[in-house]
Amino acid sequence: MRVPDLGSLLAEVQQRRMALDATGSYFVTDIDAPHAEDFAKSLLLMSIPRRGQRDQPISIYINSGGGSVGDGLAMMEMINRMRRRFDVRIDTAVLGYAYSMGAIVSQAGDHRSMGRFGTLMLHSTQWILSGEDERIFKDYQALSEHYQRTVADLFAGRTGYRDSAWWRRFIWSGRERFLGPDECLELGLVDEILEAPSMAPGAPKGEPPMVQPPKAEPPKAG
């Protein structure tokens, strides 16, 4: 068996990455510090050649179980910064699912879409802490409340549905709120549901294939 050349594999990966950057496509999976840094670099490379060309949008595809609040907010800040600096359009599209911070990042798009099979999920922030009493019970409590206000204000402003206090109660309810496409559209979390062609309302249905009955074989002599 031929052993693949590592250098060739890396070069191939880099070529595919450059091709995606050229088309303005980026895929968000895990939301953590390394992915946020990679996202920021790619978004900058995509934005520079599209300066002022809003008819050539950058598309951010999200299929994510979520991740770090701080890193997700950094990604959103980068989207806003590139939009202001280079006057580019940046759209977000949910592929399959966008949970927790993935659902929040999706709100940064100029145009937000999801497929008929997509799901968003919002829930309370999860913390794992250790340290002194003052830090755990006061400092991190203050940080948690800051994040709650920030995210609730973001949803209220972006969706135009209800106010910040309502969104804060809705998200930090102690439940995991799984939302299908129609619910997301009603709440203003997406601008468009992309239907599969065969499932679009009123789409003509094809005729079932014709099945020929089996032909009777003449009896054979014994």
Where along the chain do its domains lie? Answer: 7-123+176-196, 126-172
Q: pLDDT tens across 32-91, in order? A: 999 999 999 999 999 999 999 999 999 999 999 999 999 999 999 999 999 999 999 999
Question: Which residues fall within 8 angstroms of residue 99, CB to CB, at 6 or more apart?
Answer: 64, 65, 66, 119, 120, 121
As separate numbers, helices (DSSP H) first and strands (DSSP E) second, the chain gives: 8, 7
Second CATH level (architecture) for the domain 7-123+176-196: Alpha-Beta Complex (3.90)
Q: pLDDT tens across 122-164, in order? A: 998 876 767 787 777 788 889 999 999 999 999 999 999 999 9
Q: For residue 58, report the phi and psi dihedrals to the nearest 5 degrees.
A: -90, 135
- Enter the pTM of the model: 0.79
State which amino acid sits at residue 90: I
Of the chain, the percentage scoring pLDDT greater than 90 comes to 68
Q: Are strands 177-179 and 119-122 parallel, antiparallel or unpaired?
A: antiparallel
CB 28 within 8 A of CB 105: yes
Instruction: Output the pLDDT for position 86.
Output: 97
In this structure, of 108-112, 128-132, 216-220, the range with the lowest mean pLDDT score is: 216-220
Question: Which residues fall within 8 angstroms of residue 43, CB to CB, at 6 or more apart?
Answer: 26, 58, 78, 79, 82, 90
